[in-house]
Amino acid sequence: MTTTITLTGAGGQIGYALLFRIAAGDLLGPDEKVRLRLLEIPRGLAAAEGAALELQDGAFDLLEHVEVTDDAAVGFDGCDLALLVGARPRGPGMERGDLLAANGGIFGPQGRAIAENAARGVRVTVVGNPANTNTLIAAAHADGIPAERFSALTRLDENRARAQLAQTLGVPVGTIARVPIWGNHSATQFPDVSHATVAGLPVVPALEKIVDDVPTWLDETFVPRVAKRGAEIIQVRGSSSVASAANATIDHVRDWVAGTEDWTSAGVVSHGEYGVPEGLICSFPVRAIDGEWRIVEGLELDDRARARIDASVAELVEERDAVRALGLL
Ligand code: NAX
Protein backbone atom coordinates (compact mmCIF):
# COMPACT_ATOMS: atom_id res chain seq x y z
CA MET A 1 0.00 0.00 0.00
CA THR A 2 1.02 3.63 -0.46
CA THR A 3 0.19 6.53 1.84
CA THR A 4 0.25 10.11 0.59
CA ILE A 5 1.74 12.46 3.16
CA THR A 6 1.68 16.24 2.85
CA LEU A 7 4.21 18.19 4.86
CA THR A 8 3.88 21.96 5.11
CA GLY A 9 6.96 23.94 6.06
CA ALA A 10 9.01 21.23 4.35
CA GLY A 11 11.85 23.67 3.72
CA GLY A 12 12.15 24.47 7.44
CA GLN A 13 14.13 22.87 10.23
CA ILE A 14 11.56 20.42 11.58
CA GLY A 15 10.56 19.53 8.03
CA TYR A 16 14.14 18.61 7.22
CA ALA A 17 14.39 16.40 10.30
CA LEU A 18 11.04 14.73 9.58
CA LEU A 19 11.36 13.91 5.91
CA PHE A 20 14.17 11.39 6.16
CA ARG A 21 12.61 9.53 9.05
CA ILE A 22 9.33 9.27 7.14
CA ALA A 23 11.17 8.02 4.05
CA ALA A 24 13.06 5.49 6.17
CA GLY A 25 9.80 3.96 7.40
CA ASP A 26 9.80 5.27 10.97
CA LEU A 27 6.27 6.65 10.60
CA LEU A 28 4.34 3.84 8.96
CA GLY A 29 6.63 0.85 9.22
CA PRO A 30 8.75 -1.10 6.75
CA ASP A 31 5.88 -2.32 4.55
CA GLU A 32 4.11 0.93 3.71
CA LYS A 33 5.29 2.96 0.74
CA VAL A 34 4.99 6.73 0.95
CA ARG A 35 4.33 9.51 -1.52
CA LEU A 36 5.49 12.88 -0.21
CA ARG A 37 4.07 16.28 -1.08
CA LEU A 38 6.16 19.16 0.22
CA LEU A 39 4.12 22.33 0.52
CA GLU A 40 5.95 25.61 1.02
CA ILE A 41 5.54 29.31 0.47
CA PRO A 42 7.59 30.72 -2.41
CA ARG A 43 10.39 31.83 -0.07
CA GLY A 44 10.81 28.27 1.24
CA LEU A 45 10.58 26.45 -2.09
CA ALA A 46 14.32 26.26 -2.81
CA ALA A 47 15.03 24.69 0.59
CA ALA A 48 12.23 22.16 0.03
CA GLU A 49 13.53 21.38 -3.45
CA GLY A 50 16.98 20.81 -1.97
CA ALA A 51 15.49 18.42 0.59
CA ALA A 52 13.73 16.60 -2.27
CA LEU A 53 17.06 16.13 -4.07
CA GLU A 54 18.57 14.70 -0.91
CA LEU A 55 15.60 12.40 -0.47
CA GLN A 56 16.34 11.08 -3.95
CA ASP A 57 19.97 10.56 -2.93
CA GLY A 58 18.80 8.62 0.12
CA ALA A 59 17.59 5.90 -2.31
CA PHE A 60 14.82 4.97 0.10
CA ASP A 61 12.99 1.81 -0.96
CA LEU A 62 9.74 3.01 0.56
CA LEU A 63 9.71 6.42 -1.11
CA GLU A 64 7.60 6.29 -4.25
CA HIS A 65 7.41 9.93 -5.20
CA VAL A 66 8.24 13.45 -3.99
CA GLU A 67 6.57 16.59 -5.21
CA VAL A 68 7.40 20.16 -4.18
CA THR A 69 4.79 22.88 -4.56
CA ASP A 70 3.54 26.21 -3.25
CA ASP A 71 -0.01 25.46 -4.42
CA ALA A 72 -2.15 24.11 -1.56
CA ALA A 73 -4.56 22.37 -3.97
CA VAL A 74 -1.65 20.38 -5.42
CA GLY A 75 -0.02 19.91 -2.02
CA PHE A 76 -3.08 18.36 -0.39
CA ASP A 77 -4.26 16.41 -3.44
CA GLY A 78 -5.15 12.89 -2.32
CA CYS A 79 -3.42 13.41 0.99
CA ASP A 80 -3.98 10.74 3.67
CA LEU A 81 -1.85 12.33 6.37
CA ALA A 82 -1.28 16.07 6.58
CA LEU A 83 1.51 17.35 8.81
CA LEU A 84 1.04 21.09 9.22
CA VAL A 85 4.44 22.25 10.40
CA GLY A 86 4.84 25.52 8.49
CA ALA A 87 3.67 28.53 10.48
CA ARG A 88 4.39 32.18 10.97
CA PRO A 89 6.81 32.65 13.85
CA ARG A 90 6.46 35.53 16.28
CA GLY A 91 8.57 38.38 14.92
CA PRO A 92 10.01 41.33 16.83
CA GLY A 93 7.32 43.61 18.21
CA MET A 94 4.54 41.21 17.20
CA GLU A 95 1.65 41.08 19.65
CA ARG A 96 -0.21 37.85 20.35
CA GLY A 97 -3.16 39.12 18.31
CA ASP A 98 -0.85 39.70 15.32
CA LEU A 99 0.52 36.18 15.67
CA LEU A 100 -2.95 34.64 15.83
CA ALA A 101 -4.06 36.70 12.84
CA ALA A 102 -1.01 35.78 10.75
CA ASN A 103 -1.46 32.09 11.49
CA GLY A 104 -5.21 32.24 10.98
CA GLY A 105 -4.37 33.46 7.48
CA ILE A 106 -2.37 30.25 6.95
CA PHE A 107 -4.42 27.59 8.73
CA GLY A 108 -7.88 28.72 7.57
CA PRO A 109 -7.04 28.40 3.86
CA GLN A 110 -5.11 25.17 4.50
CA GLY A 111 -8.13 23.68 6.28
CA ARG A 112 -10.26 24.60 3.29
CA ALA A 113 -7.72 23.17 0.83
CA ILE A 114 -7.59 19.93 2.80
CA ALA A 115 -11.39 19.63 2.68
CA GLU A 116 -11.39 20.23 -1.07
CA ASN A 117 -8.46 18.04 -2.06
CA ALA A 118 -7.45 15.46 0.53
CA ALA A 119 -8.45 11.80 0.56
CA ARG A 120 -11.49 10.71 2.53
CA GLY A 121 -10.34 9.77 6.00
CA VAL A 122 -7.46 12.28 6.00
CA ARG A 123 -5.83 12.82 9.39
CA VAL A 124 -4.31 16.20 10.12
CA THR A 125 -1.59 16.85 12.69
CA VAL A 126 -0.72 20.45 13.55
CA VAL A 127 2.78 21.21 14.80
CA GLY A 128 3.06 24.90 13.86
CA ASN A 129 2.43 27.25 16.79
CA PRO A 130 0.17 28.30 18.39
CA ALA A 131 -0.65 24.65 17.70
CA ASN A 132 -3.97 24.21 19.53
CA THR A 133 -5.58 27.32 18.08
CA ASN A 134 -4.13 26.72 14.61
CA THR A 135 -5.79 23.29 14.76
CA LEU A 136 -9.08 24.88 15.79
CA ILE A 137 -8.92 27.27 12.84
CA ALA A 138 -7.96 24.59 10.30
CA ALA A 139 -10.74 22.26 11.49
CA ALA A 140 -13.31 25.07 11.40
CA HIS A 141 -12.53 25.70 7.72
CA ALA A 142 -12.53 22.06 6.66
CA ASP A 143 -16.17 21.59 5.73
CA GLY A 144 -17.22 17.97 5.77
CA ILE A 145 -14.23 16.68 7.74
CA PRO A 146 -15.01 15.83 11.36
CA ALA A 147 -13.02 17.87 13.90
CA GLU A 148 -11.87 14.53 15.36
CA ARG A 149 -9.58 14.12 12.32
CA PHE A 150 -7.51 17.10 13.48
CA SER A 151 -5.05 17.03 16.36
CA ALA A 152 -2.30 19.23 17.77
CA LEU A 153 1.12 18.00 18.80
CA THR A 154 1.71 17.90 22.56
CA ARG A 155 3.71 14.70 22.43
CA LEU A 156 7.00 16.59 22.65
CA ASP A 157 5.87 17.95 26.02
CA GLU A 158 4.92 14.46 27.15
CA ASN A 159 8.22 13.00 26.00
CA ARG A 160 10.05 15.76 27.87
CA ALA A 161 8.02 15.03 31.02
CA ARG A 162 8.71 11.29 30.84
CA ALA A 163 12.41 11.93 30.27
CA GLN A 164 12.61 14.30 33.27
CA LEU A 165 10.91 11.74 35.51
CA ALA A 166 13.19 8.97 34.28
CA GLN A 167 16.26 11.08 34.95
CA THR A 168 15.09 12.00 38.45
CA LEU A 169 14.30 8.40 39.32
CA GLY A 170 17.40 7.01 37.59
CA VAL A 171 15.37 4.55 35.51
CA PRO A 172 15.10 3.89 31.76
CA VAL A 173 12.58 6.23 30.13
CA GLY A 174 10.70 3.29 28.65
CA THR A 175 9.61 2.26 32.15
CA ILE A 176 7.70 5.54 32.67
CA ALA A 177 4.10 5.66 31.44
CA ARG A 178 0.90 7.66 31.83
CA VAL A 179 2.24 11.21 32.05
CA PRO A 180 -0.42 13.16 30.20
CA ILE A 181 -0.17 16.80 29.18
CA TRP A 182 -3.34 18.78 29.78
CA GLY A 183 -4.35 22.07 28.18
CA ASN A 184 -2.47 24.29 25.78
CA HIS A 185 0.92 23.67 24.12
CA SER A 186 2.31 26.71 25.92
CA ALA A 187 3.87 27.63 29.23
CA THR A 188 0.47 27.06 30.93
CA GLN A 189 0.38 23.35 30.01
CA PHE A 190 0.02 20.87 32.86
CA PRO A 191 2.22 17.76 32.78
CA ASP A 192 0.42 15.49 35.23
CA VAL A 193 2.26 12.82 37.20
CA SER A 194 -0.59 11.85 39.51
CA HIS A 195 -1.45 8.73 37.50
CA ALA A 196 2.06 8.11 36.20
CA THR A 197 3.72 4.74 36.60
CA VAL A 198 7.29 3.48 36.71
CA ALA A 199 7.61 -0.16 35.68
CA GLY A 200 3.86 -0.46 36.29
CA LEU A 201 3.95 0.96 39.84
CA PRO A 202 2.79 4.45 40.90
CA VAL A 203 5.43 7.13 40.36
CA VAL A 204 4.58 9.36 43.31
CA PRO A 205 5.74 6.91 46.06
CA ALA A 206 8.93 6.33 44.06
CA LEU A 207 9.50 10.09 43.91
CA GLU A 208 8.89 10.41 47.65
CA LYS A 209 11.96 8.23 48.25
CA ILE A 210 14.14 10.66 46.31
CA VAL A 211 12.58 14.10 46.64
CA ASP A 212 11.93 15.69 50.07
CA ASP A 213 8.72 17.53 49.31
CA VAL A 214 7.08 16.11 46.20
CA PRO A 215 4.31 18.75 45.73
CA THR A 216 6.88 21.56 45.95
CA TRP A 217 9.25 19.74 43.62
CA LEU A 218 6.42 19.26 41.11
CA ASP A 219 5.35 22.92 41.29
CA GLU A 220 8.76 24.54 41.39
CA THR A 221 11.00 22.18 39.45
CA PHE A 222 9.25 19.57 37.34
CA VAL A 223 6.31 21.46 35.84
CA PRO A 224 8.29 24.63 34.95
CA ARG A 225 11.19 22.55 33.58
CA VAL A 226 8.87 20.70 31.19
CA ALA A 227 6.77 23.75 30.29
CA LYS A 228 9.85 25.89 29.63
CA ARG A 229 12.04 23.22 28.05
CA GLY A 230 11.66 24.82 24.62
CA ALA A 231 13.15 28.06 25.96
CA GLU A 232 15.95 26.09 27.65
CA ILE A 233 16.82 24.39 24.36
CA ILE A 234 16.92 27.77 22.61
CA GLN A 235 19.20 29.16 25.30
CA VAL A 236 21.65 26.23 25.23
CA ARG A 237 21.56 25.40 21.55
CA GLY A 238 20.96 28.83 20.12
CA SER A 239 18.05 27.46 18.09
CA SER A 240 14.65 25.94 18.82
CA SER A 241 13.89 22.23 19.24
CA VAL A 242 14.09 20.47 15.91
CA ALA A 243 14.99 16.75 15.98
CA SER A 244 13.07 16.17 19.21
CA ALA A 245 10.05 17.93 17.71
CA ALA A 246 10.30 15.80 14.57
CA ASN A 247 10.66 12.70 16.73
CA ALA A 248 7.54 13.60 18.72
CA THR A 249 5.64 14.21 15.48
CA ILE A 250 6.60 10.72 14.32
CA ASP A 251 5.48 9.27 17.68
CA HIS A 252 2.16 11.14 17.51
CA VAL A 253 1.21 10.18 13.96
CA ARG A 254 2.48 6.60 14.23
CA ASP A 255 0.40 6.06 17.37
CA TRP A 256 -2.67 7.68 15.82
CA VAL A 257 -2.48 5.36 12.83
CA ALA A 258 -1.24 2.18 14.51
CA GLY A 259 -3.00 2.53 17.89
CA THR A 260 -1.73 2.67 21.45
CA GLU A 261 -1.86 0.16 24.25
CA ASP A 262 -1.50 2.83 26.92
CA TRP A 263 -2.17 6.55 27.25
CA THR A 264 -0.41 9.28 25.42
CA SER A 265 -1.21 13.00 24.95
CA ALA A 266 -2.65 14.93 22.04
CA GLY A 267 -4.52 18.16 21.49
CA VAL A 268 -7.95 16.96 20.39
CA VAL A 269 -11.42 18.43 20.14
CA SER A 270 -13.29 18.57 23.42
CA HIS A 271 -16.85 17.29 23.70
CA GLY A 272 -17.00 18.71 27.23
CA GLU A 273 -14.74 16.09 28.84
CA TYR A 274 -13.38 17.21 32.23
CA GLY A 275 -15.40 20.44 31.94
CA VAL A 276 -13.35 21.70 28.98
CA PRO A 277 -15.65 23.80 26.76
CA GLU A 278 -16.94 21.91 23.78
CA GLY A 279 -15.10 22.55 20.53
CA LEU A 280 -11.78 23.68 22.04
CA ILE A 281 -8.65 21.84 20.94
CA CYS A 282 -7.20 20.84 24.29
CA SER A 283 -4.49 18.37 25.22
CA PHE A 284 -5.87 15.38 27.11
CA PRO A 285 -4.71 11.92 28.02
CA VAL A 286 -5.75 9.86 25.00
CA ARG A 287 -5.57 6.40 23.54
CA ALA A 288 -5.63 5.73 19.82
CA ILE A 289 -8.06 2.97 18.89
CA ASP A 290 -8.94 1.99 15.30
CA GLY A 291 -7.31 5.16 13.99
CA GLU A 292 -9.21 7.49 16.32
CA TRP A 293 -8.12 9.39 19.40
CA ARG A 294 -10.22 8.53 22.46
CA ILE A 295 -9.95 10.72 25.52
CA VAL A 296 -9.23 8.72 28.67
CA GLU A 297 -12.22 9.53 30.84
CA GLY A 298 -13.02 9.19 34.53
CA LEU A 299 -9.65 10.23 35.97
CA GLU A 300 -9.75 11.87 39.38
CA LEU A 301 -8.23 15.34 39.46
CA ASP A 302 -7.11 16.85 42.75
CA ASP A 303 -7.46 20.59 43.45
CA ARG A 304 -3.93 21.32 42.25
CA ALA A 305 -4.50 19.57 38.92
CA ARG A 306 -7.91 21.15 38.51
CA ALA A 307 -6.54 24.67 39.04
CA ARG A 308 -3.70 24.17 36.57
CA ILE A 309 -5.94 22.64 33.91
CA ASP A 310 -8.49 25.43 34.38
CA ALA A 311 -5.76 28.07 33.91
CA SER A 312 -4.50 26.49 30.70
CA VAL A 313 -8.04 26.02 29.38
CA ALA A 314 -8.77 29.69 30.18
CA GLU A 315 -5.83 30.60 27.93
CA LEU A 316 -7.28 28.43 25.14
CA VAL A 317 -10.63 30.18 25.55
CA GLU A 318 -8.89 33.56 25.29
CA GLU A 319 -7.10 32.47 22.11
CA ARG A 320 -10.36 31.18 20.64
CA ASP A 321 -12.16 34.41 21.51
CA ALA A 322 -9.33 36.44 19.99
CA VAL A 323 -9.46 34.57 16.67
CA ARG A 324 -13.26 34.80 16.70
CA ALA A 325 -13.00 38.55 17.16
CA LEU A 326 -10.63 38.65 14.19
CA GLY A 327 -13.25 36.85 12.08
CA LEU A 328 -11.03 33.78 11.71
CA LEU A 329 -13.58 31.29 13.08
P1 NAX B 1 11.24 27.04 10.43
O2 NAX B 1 11.08 28.51 10.45
O3 NAX B 1 12.60 26.43 10.31
O4 NAX B 1 10.37 26.43 9.25
C5 NAX B 1 9.07 26.84 9.00
C6 NAX B 1 8.83 26.66 7.51
O7 NAX B 1 7.46 26.86 7.28
C8 NAX B 1 9.60 27.66 6.65
O9 NAX B 1 10.34 26.96 5.66
C10 NAX B 1 8.50 28.52 6.03
O11 NAX B 1 8.82 28.95 4.72
C12 NAX B 1 7.34 27.53 6.04
N13 NAX B 1 6.02 28.13 5.97
C14 NAX B 1 5.59 29.30 6.51
N15 NAX B 1 4.32 29.54 6.14
C16 NAX B 1 3.92 28.50 5.39
C17 NAX B 1 2.72 28.20 4.70
N18 NAX B 1 1.68 29.03 4.72
N19 NAX B 1 2.67 27.05 4.00
C20 NAX B 1 3.72 26.24 3.93
N21 NAX B 1 4.90 26.47 4.55
C22 NAX B 1 4.99 27.60 5.25
O23 NAX B 1 10.50 26.51 11.75
P24 NAX B 1 10.61 25.09 12.46
O25 NAX B 1 11.71 25.12 13.46
O26 NAX B 1 10.61 24.02 11.44
O27 NAX B 1 9.24 25.08 13.31
C28 NAX B 1 8.01 24.97 12.67
C29 NAX B 1 6.86 25.24 13.64
O30 NAX B 1 6.84 24.26 14.67
C31 NAX B 1 6.94 26.59 14.36
O32 NAX B 1 5.66 27.19 14.37
C33 NAX B 1 7.32 26.18 15.79
O34 NAX B 1 6.88 27.14 16.75
C35 NAX B 1 6.57 24.89 15.91
N36 NAX B 1 6.95 23.98 16.99
C37 NAX B 1 5.98 23.28 17.59
C38 NAX B 1 6.23 22.34 18.57
C39 NAX B 1 5.13 21.56 19.20
O40 NAX B 1 5.44 20.78 20.10
N41 NAX B 1 3.86 21.70 18.79
C42 NAX B 1 7.61 22.12 19.06
C43 NAX B 1 8.66 22.58 18.10
C44 NAX B 1 8.35 23.86 17.38
O45 NAX B 1 8.63 24.93 18.23
What's the pLDDT at 91? 80
**What are the pLDDT digits (tens) for 21-49?**
999 999 999 999 999 999 999 999 999 99
Confidence of residue 90 (pLDDT cuts 50, 70, 90): confident
- Alpha carbon of 14 to ligand 1 centroid (Å): 7
What's the pLDDT at 181? 98
DSSP 8-state class, residue 80: S
Spatial contact of 296 and 285, defined as CB atoms under 8 Å apart? yes
Residues of the chain with CATH 3.40.50.720: 2-152
Q: Is the pTM of this model over 0.85?
A: yes
Q: Is residue 116 pLDDT above 90, yes or no?
A: yes
Whole-number Å distance between alpha carbons of 286 and 128: 21
Whole-number Å distance between alpha carbons of 183 and 321: 16
| C-beta atoms surrounding 259 within 10 Å | 13
- Alpha carbon of 43 to ligand 1 centroid (Å): 13
**What are the pLDDT digits (tens) for 60-79?**
999 999 999 999 999 999 99
Candidate list 65, 141, 185, 271, residue with the active-site label: 185
Which residue, by CA, sits nearest to atom 12 of ligand 1? 9
Dihedral pair phi/psi, residue 6, rounded to 5°: -105, 130
DSSP 8-state class, residue 219: I
Q: Is residue 94 pLDDT above 90, yes or no?
A: no
DSSP secondary structure letters along 154-212: -HHHHHHHHHHHHHHHTS-GGGEE---EEB-SSTT-EE--TT-EETTEEHHHHHHTT-S
- Alpha carbon of 87 to ligand 1 centroid (Å): 5
Q: Is 123 helix (H, G, I), strand (E, B) or coil?
A: strand
Residues of the chain with CATH 3.90.110.10: 155-320
Mean pLDDT of 248-269: 97
According to CATH, the topology of domain 2-152 is Rossmann fold (3.40.50)
Which residue, by CA, sits nearest to atom 16 of ligand 1? 86
User: Does the active-site annotation cover 65?
Assistant: no
Whole-number Å distance between alpha carbons of 65 and 30: 16
- DSSP run (H or E) holding 226: helix 223-227
Confidence of residue 10 (pLDDT cuts 50, 70, 90): very high
What's the pLDDT at 93? 82
CATH 3.90.110.10 is the classification of domain 155-320? yes
Confidence of residue 95 (pLDDT cuts 50, 70, 90): confident
Mean pLDDT of 133-156: 98
